[in-house]
Amino acid sequence: MTTTRLEAFSDGVLAIAITLLVIEIRPPELHPGETLAQALWAQWPSYVAYLVSFLTIGVIWLNHHRVFTQVVRVDGPLLLLNLNLLLWTGLIPFPTAVVAEHLGDGGEAARTAAALYCGVLLVMGLAFGALFAWVTHTDRLLGRMPPPGVVGAARRRFMLGLIVYAAALALSWVSAPLALGLCGLMALYYAFDQASVPAAMDPVGRS
Amino acid sequence: MTTTRLEAFSDGVLAIAITLLVIEIRPPELHPGETLAQALWAQWPSYVAYLVSFLTIGVIWLNHHRVFTQVVRVDGPLLLLNLNLLLWTGLIPFPTAVVAEHLGDGGEAARTAAALYCGVLLVMGLAFGALFAWVTHTDRLLGRMPPPGVVGAARRRFMLGLIVYAAALALSWVSAPLALGLCGLMALYYAFDQASVPAAMDPVGRS
Amino acid sequence: MTTTRLEAFSDGVLAIAITLLVIEIRPPELHPGETLAQALWAQWPSYVAYLVSFLTIGVIWLNHHRVFTQVVRVDGPLLLLNLNLLLWTGLIPFPTAVVAEHLGDGGEAARTAAALYCGVLLVMGLAFGALFAWVTHTDRLLGRMPPPGVVGAARRRFMLGLIVYAAALALSWVSAPLALGLCGLMALYYAFDQASVPAAMDPVGRS
Amino acid sequence: MTTTRLEAFSDGVLAIAITLLVIEIRPPELHPGETLAQALWAQWPSYVAYLVSFLTIGVIWLNHHRVFTQVVRVDGPLLLLNLNLLLWTGLIPFPTAVVAEHLGDGGEAARTAAALYCGVLLVMGLAFGALFAWVTHTDRLLGRMPPPGVVGAARRRFMLGLIVYAAALALSWVSAPLALGLCGLMALYYAFDQASVPAAMDPVGRS
């Protein structure tokens, strides 16, 4: 099993998951006396959920590549850990649809929807963290071991994500929109962080 | 991050978005006394919307490749600008579905649907223009700077798209079908233009 | 534009279209007093439609590759002719869904559904024929011109498809299941033909 | 036809099928007096079905690659046998949706849903077995013949799968959840087996 194969399959799943998000945004049903413009505005949780989930999966993709740029050998546990990550990432359109439908309801439904959403992201984060820990705990799968400082910084970024998703999960019992907003901020932070981190982890000649 | 990786992911998202369009065309519900043939004809806005959106995403794909043929280095902002373009392109099936459902209603619903559609295309055009401006404002991401005339012509084509989509957005308050038709003409123009532009921007040996 | 790029995008669209077919097979609604087994059997048109469409798109993919194995240069018209082929192939899940829903109704609905299905396949066949004619009328896009006998045989196979799809379209006014069956036979014939044709058209070293 | 092409198309179909599974998990409809949390729990068959099918398709993908790592030539029957495998694998989201909807009903509906599910997996297993038998019965498609012991072990694993799926099919008349659980165990076994089998079948320099 080459990393090329693994990455191509993972890319496929991530590209499909990110694009499937849109089919959870349905054309609104018009209630009597309602204009289409009003009905479209009333669907704002769908748009927020699409945006946050798109950013989140986009960042998972960026991060997945950053990690696999280092990997030159694939072993059995890595295959399973990667399938596990794809399992939870591929599930994201479901909590996204639940949030889209129930965030506007307020009350128990909104809080439960937000908790489901944050919970799935938290488990996804744990799955990604497990994969990263397996890849980096020795250099047997890597072309060369990146400097300890680089690995340590990446670990701190993973840990930060877990803490923020856990905080968002707790926050969802207080305010569903705030919890979702926190997940969105996390994705934005990762996106800008990914885009600015120097390519120091990339082996020479493969960046 | 190589351009290969970025292009493969973008290709995946674009191929999925263009193919997902079809699931917005539903088999019609038959009203009592209606033949299937009549019900299928009554769905004409679905077919028009499929056609215009298919052409539009097809042209985005052609254009995306034309731009990335030049690019030999990917930096952080380009990653984010590309994700932003995919975000809006991946959204296109939603306004397509809204137009398919409401263009035949006439009145406010048709106009709002057309405005939503043209608005999403306009923002997509802005996102593509921002990506193109970032790529071409110096030669740091390019193998070699294309002749200024070529870049200038490409910029004028982007600007034309923005003006036409803005005009279509304004037109949607007058006539929804005309606004949609204008978006379709724009896609047709780009398609034939893409197909006839000489490969002058392509670096030697990569065309 | 390299053929690699064009083929990757086309492969993506074809792989998605063939896989999307399954979402048109819905779990049946149970009527009172009906067992699930009965409801599943009653959905037989869905299974037939899935099978015929899967085979058809599978054959389009096989054939697309056979043609593009020859092509070494892509020009503008080829890009548009290929997008046109993908437009009609990507549409196939829609008539498949209409056939799945209405073939069991009998009468006008079944005939119209079959006519729509055969009509879309006929237009797809015309689109593929136009692409093939463009590719083979001179050798400017080809690495080397295949022997005239090979091109002639391929043209006869395209022509046969058009005649059979036109016959199926006519037949759909007589019997919808027969028309659909004829499309299925056509796909089977192509599948076995593709699988048995010697690789004579493949340039040396690329087969 | 190169194996690269065949594998890329198969990867695409498998990646899409595995990701489409999620759209069968719908946000629940709330009955009066029901909380969203209760409605989400009541959907447990959807989650079980997603998990089992995700694992199953993931294992098909792993196994498909393991087989095709050996293959250096593609002939006509292999093309058809591969399309046949994709036909049944691409169908998996349908029995998954039927199980998700009816496993919680108990009685005939649950048993029929489980029987459909196990039946599709059994036919998929037969299709994969036929492909494997065609690939390995001589070395004409292989770079070099793997040691007989390796081929024999792979055949026993295929045979085991067929026996287990047949047993699950029989078991579905007794207990639908047990039958589904057996399919899940089978996928888990294959996953861990795939991940631990030494790469002995991989030709030198391609692993």
Residues of chain C neighbouring D45 (CB-CB closer than 8 A): none
pLDDT (tens digit per residue) in B89-118: 999 999 999 999 999 888 899 999 999 999
> What token pair was written down for A50?
């699409």
Alpha helices in A92-147 (DSSP H): 93-102, 107-136
Please tell me if residue B65 touches chain C, with a CB cutoff of 8 Å. yes
What pLDDT was estimated at residue D205?
35
The more confident residue out of C207 and B1 is B1
What pLDDT was estimated at residue A13?
95
Question: d(Cα A143, Cα A74) in Å, to the nearest integer?
Answer: 12
Residue pairs between chains A and B whose CB atoms are closer than 8 Å: 92
Please tell me if residue B79 touches chain C, with a CB cutoff of 8 Å. no
**C53 CA: distance to closest CA in chain B (Å):** 14
Residue B21 and residue A22 in contact, taking contact as beta carbons nearer than 8 Å: no
> What token pair was written down for D206?
């391609």
Q: How many CA atoms lie within 13 A of C197 on its CB side?
A: 19
Q: What is the pLDDT confidence band of residue A197, given thresholds at 50, 70 and 90?
A: low
Reading phi first (left if > 0) and then psi (alpha if -120 to 50, else beta), residue B197 is in beta
Question: d(Cα D30, Cα D33) in Å, to the nearest integer?
Answer: 8
What pLDDT was estimated at residue B205?
35
Picking from A95, A97, A86, the residue whose alpha carbon sits closest to that of residue A23 is A97
Residue C118 and residue C100 in contact, taking contact as beta carbons nearer than 8 Å: no
**pTM, whole model, 2 decimals?**
0.91
Record: contact B19-C16, CB cut-off 8 A = yes
Residues of chain B neighbouring C20 (CB-CB closer than 8 A): 19-20, 22-23
Record: contact B19-C90, CB cut-off 8 A = yes
Residues of chain C neighbouring B195 (CB-CB closer than 8 A): 75-77, 79-80
Q: What is the pLDDT confidence band of residue D130, given thresholds at 50, 70 and 90?
A: very high
Which of B23, B40, B58 lies closest to C83 in CB terms?
A: B58
Nearest Cα residue in chain D from C189? D80
Q: Could you report the predicted ipTM of this complex, rounded to two decimals? A: 0.88
Residues of chain D neighbouring C36 (CB-CB closer than 8 A): 98, 102, 108-109, 112-113
> What token pair was written down for C154?
């391929």
Residue of A83, A103, A124 for testing the chain D interface, max D β-carbons within 10 Å = A83
Residue type for position A118: C
> What token pair was written down for C129?
């024929």
* Exposed e or buried b per residue across A103-122, where buried means at least 16 C-beta atoms within 10 angstroms of its C-beta: bbbeeebbbbbbbbbbbbbb
D121: pLDDT strictly greater than 50: yes
Question: d(Cα B48, Cα B180) in Å, to the nearest integer?
Answer: 9
**Neighbour-count burial of C33, counting CB atoms closer than 10 A to its CB (0-12 exposed, 13-18 middle, 19+ buried):** exposed
Record: contact A207-B1, CB cut-off 8 A = yes
> What token pair was written down for D38?
């209760």
β-sheet bridge partners, residue D71 = D142
**C2 CA: distance to closest CA in chain B (Å):** 6
Which of A94, A102, A112 lies closest to D25 in CB terms?
A: A94
Contacts of residue D84, defined as CB under 8 A and 6 or more positions apart, other chains included, come to: D127, D130, D131
pLDDT (tens digit per residue) in A73-89: 888 889 899 999 999 99
Question: d(Cα B187, Cα B56) in Å, to the nearest integer?
Answer: 5
> What token pair was written down for A143?
């072309």
Question: d(Cα C196, Cα B45) in Å, to the nearest integer?
Answer: 43
pLDDT (tens digit per residue) in D56-115: 999 999 999 888 888 888 888 898 999 999 999 999 999 999 999 999 888 899 999 999
Please tell me if residue B4 touches chain C, with a CB cutoff of 8 Å. no
β-sheet bridge partners, residue C71 = C142
- Backbone φ and ψ of C73, nearest 5°: -135, 145
Residue C81 and residue C6 in contact, taking contact as beta carbons nearer than 8 Å: no
Residue of D9, D22, D61 for testing the chain C interface, max C β-carbons within 10 Å = D9
**Neighbour-count burial of D51, counting CB atoms closer than 10 A to its CB (0-12 exposed, 13-18 middle, 19+ buried):** middle
Which of B12, B40, B51 lies closest to C116 in CB terms?
A: B40
What pLDDT was estimated at residue B61?
93
**C172 CA: distance to closest CA in chain B (Å):** 13
Q: What is the pLDDT confidence band of residue C1, given thresholds at 50, 70 and 90?
A: low
Alpha helices in chain B (DSSP H): 3-20, 36-42, 44-70, 76-91, 93-102, 107-136, 148-171, 176-196
